[in-house]
Structure 1
Amino acid sequence: MTKLKTDILVIGAGSGGLSVAAGAVQMGARVVLLEGHKMGGDCLNYGCVPSKALIASGKAAYAQAHADKFGVANVIPKVDYAAVKDHVADVIDTIAPVDSQERFEGLGVQVIREFGTFISPTEVQAGDTVITARRIVIATGSSPLVPPIPGLDKVPYLTNETLFGLREQPDHLLIIGGGPIGMEMAQAHVRLGSRVTVIEGDKALGKDDPETAAIVLDRLRGEGIEIAEDAMASEVRGKPGMVEVEVKDGRVFKGSHLLMAVGRKANMDGLNLDAAGIATTRAGIKVDDRLKTTNSRVYAIGDVAGGMQFTHVAGYHAGVIIRSALFALPSKQRTDHIPWATYTEPELAQVGQTEAQARQAHGDKLEVVRFEYAHNDRAIAERKTTGLIKVMVVKGRPVGVSIAGAQAGELINLWALALANRMKMKQVAAMVAAYPTIGEINKRAAGAYFSPRLFDSPVVKRVVGLVQRWLP
């Protein structure tokens, strides 16, 4: 048995773990990184990267079939599904060196390709190596949640971990789960030529603002996706190529392939957390606002910490704990400035409070500012006028923003900056946006907040009248 001592031990080489390892080693700490599966974790290999690559293929096919509004003849796209998957694999391979073992070893990180398990509050065993660390960071991420639906264990099904390895195109893809993953994959596949049915037990895109979500769902239905809501799956049956999903109200949906996209579960199996005195919840490892577990030497970050499950949150968590673990500085996480986006077309994005949440929190103090894409010149030029931005404002300060429309995932970043720094609407309104850009929508939304105060105010008009009479 080999024994090692280190300053920082990171368990898991996904987004959060890699960020901690790279930051810590470059600041002078001794770092050991454990990864028993693929470097880069879920995001690179099964999540963000391959899904966006597949979406890009779907967009290319859709553009060929809907070019006539630009004066270009429509053509029926010839989709080679296996070649699409080659494109997806190439995108992963292009990004992979950034997350590779070789790169991190070049930075000075000791990488051990084994899973880790706690054997004491300060020791982790990985294969035939025992590591003792001053600080330990658990960054093991999450995996697809597969609920115990009767019959599911007897029928072949896909998850995000197996979908991107599929080489034959589904004739009719059934998707259980109407969240971001389910809806993104639904649109990508219908654009590539598959029939698609989404089966959702509650409301599709139910965590987003209902008004902006409806804009996206209308578009998806318009592209031919069947979206069944309030359809809780009660039984799955069938065989390869012929799958049936029955829901509680008796409806039966038939397809050739089944994708499970009902959510994620924290990866805690095999860590032996009890040996380290680390408590858990149903959502994941229990952490405080400093991301410390019930073992003060151990942090948990990213999906395994049981909070918002986004790659950028894991990266943010890494920054929080580096301040604490390396510099002994007070550092706490917050969530009010964390954005998220669903990369359908149109995109759907959110930061801070939705309108319903803001009304509950602020009551009559809330103002909701709206601006529609149809009034943006760039959106008109590109025929992307379906969309809406809503800004929730309290005493001149934005507390939440909901966007549905082209580049919503890009537009939301400005508002994430505003919320992170507690900026006011006047600071957004003072920005000069390049013309013509979709980004002008943000400035116009801020302008919409001030317009009634300037143009509908009798006091302002009176002052302007007086000034004009006195001017030489």
Structure 2
Amino acid sequence: MMKLTCDVCIIGAGSGGLSVAAGAAQMGADVVLIEGHKMGGDCLNYGCIPSKALLAAAHDAHAPIHPVTGVSPVRPDVDYAAAKDRVAAVIDTIAPVDSQERFEGFGVRVIRDWARFTDTDTVVAGAHEITARRFVIATGSRPFVPPIDGIDSVPYLTNETVFDLRERPDHLLVIGGGPIGMEMAQAHRRLGSEVTVIEGAKAMGKDDPEAAALVLERLRAEGITIVEGQQAARVVRDGGQLTVDTGSGSYTGSHLLVAVGRQVNLDKLDLDRAGVRHDRAVTVDGRLRSVSNKRVFAVGDAAGRLQFTHVAGYHAGVVIPQLMFGVPSRAKDHHIPWATYTDPELAHVGLTEAQAVKEHGRSKVTTVRFTYDENDRAQATGKTDGFVKVLVVGGRPVGATIVGQSAGELIAMWAMALANGLKMKAISDTVLPYPTLAEINKRAAGAYFSPMLFNSDMVKAVVRFVQKYLP
């Protein structure tokens, strides 16, 4: 057993772990990074990157069939295997950024094995025993597969295996109507598969209902069957066909994708030996530090908060000052945005309308909105479906939802506003190039001030007085 000592030992080489490792090593700390599987974690290999690459192929397959600019429709020849090959190529292109060699160049010692704690300040990984002053658990998560009767006896896909397919499914059954399920449903429908989504509650149920309804309407219009309020109870295989029985109906297809949620990767760590309290994730305080072992921090999915790659990166920025300088820093969630990359996209930051009303009271919440069809750029490109909705309390936005073209990009302005406590005036005063979709945000901010300016008897009286006596 090779014994090592270091300042910081990081377990997991996904977004959060890599960010901590790079920052700490370049600031002069002695860093060990342990990864038992693939460098880059879920996002690079099975999540954000491959899914967006496949959605790009789906967009290219769909656009010629439904042109909006006067061009005659054309049905393209979709090569599903080639689309998947490009997904793999995109991963390979980005992989060097997350590679072992790059991080070793930063001075990080990288150990490619599974880690487990042996006591409060020691882990073992393969032939290495590492003692560290501080540990960061950044193990991410994996697909959760619910205990559906028969699921273990049939072939099924998750986001970790669906991108390996090279033969297009004739009929893809998707269990789960959340972001992963809906993105993969639309991608496969546009690439030529029949698709049925089975959701036990409400599809896209965590999003603003009005915005989600617009997305679901589009997906259904494209031919995706979306079954809501039916829980998958049993799965059976008959030859080359799979059938999902919900008790209220049966749905048969050629392939099954399970996309019902995520499970944090903690089971290999022997956290009890380190005195690290945990349930579904590591139990942490506001500083992302274990409540029971102050040597241990957790970031990303392992911290039990919002499960997004950008959250893991943000968490890295919270723990690095603590690890390097002993400066307390606290993680917040109110300014974290997220997006679902269907077409139309749906993005959100802060409180939903229901949450804002519950927290502040209806009388204190002003809801302002602006629709895509009132935006000149949207009219020019034919992408007029969608809206921005902003919740305002005391002149400051507390939440925003955007559904429509490039919603994931447009939400950035509201994320910045919430992160920095900006007022609506900061948005309305911003000068933007014309014509751009970004003007939708500015016009929404303007809509907040319009009643104060144009529907106020006092303002009108002042204007009449000034105009009467102004030299």
Output the TM-score relative to the length of structure 1.
Answer: 0.98
Deviation per CA, 1:274-314: give whole Å up to 9, x if none.
Answer: 01001112x31111110001210000110111110000000
Shift of 1:271: 0.2
Write the mapping of 1:52-451 to structure 2, written as runs, cut at 5 A: 52-67=52-67, 69-239=68-238, 241-249=240-248, 251-281=249-279, 283-293=280-290, 294-363=292-361, 364-451=363-450
For the residues of structure 1 that align with 2:239 and 2:53, how far apart are their CA atoms? Answer: 26
SS at match of 2:206: coil
Deviations 1:153-179 (A, max 9, x none): 111000000000011000000000000
User: CA contact under 8 A between 1:240 and 1:257: conserved in structure 2?
Assistant: no
| Matched residue type, 1:186 | A
Q: In the alignment, residue 347 of structure 1 is paired with which amino acid?
A: E
RMSD of the TM alignment (CA)?
0.8
Measured in 1, the distance between the counterparts of 2:26 and 2:413 equals: 30
User: Match of 1:318, as an amino acid?
Assistant: A
Establish whether residue 7 from structure 1 lines up as the match of residue 4 from structure 2. Answer: no
Q: Using the TM superposition, give the Cα deviation of residue 379 of structure 1 relative to its aligned residue in structure 2, in angstroms.
A: 0.6
CA contact (8 A) 1:156 1:239 kept: no
User: Which amino acid is the alignment partner of residue 271 of structure 1?
Assistant: L
Question: How far apart, in 1, do the equivalents of 2:238 and 2:315 lie?
Answer: 43
Answering whether residue 31 of structure 2 is matched by residue 34 of structure 1, we say no
Partner Cα separation in structure 2 for residue 305 and residue 241 of structure 1:
41
Structure 2: gaps (5+ residues): none
CA contact (8 A) 1:349 1:412 kept: yes
Identity %: 64
Aligned AA (1:309): Q
Aligned length: 469
C-alpha separation in 2, matches of 1:28 and 1:199: 51
User: SS at the partner of 2:186?
Assistant: helix
Residue 241 of structure 1, CA deviation: 3.0
Query: In the TM superposition, what is the alpha-carbon distance from 1:248 to its structure 2 partner?
Result: 2.8
Tell me the amino acid that sits aligned with residue 380 of structure 1.
Answer: Q
What amino acid maps onto 1:2 in structure 2? Answer: M
- Which secondary structure state, in structure 1, belongs to the residue aligned with residue 55 of structure 2? helix
Are the counterparts in 2 of residues 387 and 403 from structure 1 also a CA contact under 8 Å?
yes
Instruction: Name the CA distance, whole Å, in 2 between partners of 1:424 and 1:240.
Output: 61
Distance 2:358 2:106 in 1: 49
Task: Compute the TM-score of the two structures, normalised by the length of structure 2.
Answer: 0.99
Q: How many angstroms apart in 2 are the aligned matches of 1:64 and 1:86?
A: 21
Unaligned runs of 5+ in 1: none
1:69-120 per-residue CA deviation (whole Å, 9 max, x = no partner) reads 3121111111111100111001001100000001000111110111110001
SS at match of 1:70: coil
Contact 1:287-1:305 within 8 A present in 2 as well: yes
Deviations 1:249-279 (A, max 9, x none): 2x00000000000000000011000010011
How far apart, CA to CA, are the structure 1 residues paired with 2:175 and 2:432?
41
Give distance in 1, aligned partners of 2:325 and 2:342. Answer: 41
Distance 1:35 1:330 in 2: 27
Runs of 4+ with deviation above 6 angstroms: none
CA offset digits 1:121-144 (Å, max 9, x no partner): 000000010001111000000000
Name the CA distance, whole Å, in 2 between partners of 1:57 and 1:180: 18
Q: What is the rounded CA distance, in whole Å, between the counterparts of 1:4 and 1:413 in structure 2?
A: 43
* Equivalent-residue separation in structure 2 for 1:224 and 1:32 (angstroms): 50
Q: Aligned equivalents of 1:85 and 1:309: distance in 2? A: 25
Paired residue type of 1:292: R
Structure 1 CA distance for aligned equivalents of residues 105 and 247 of structure 2: 55
C-alpha separation between the residues in 2 aligned to 1:392 and 1:263? 28
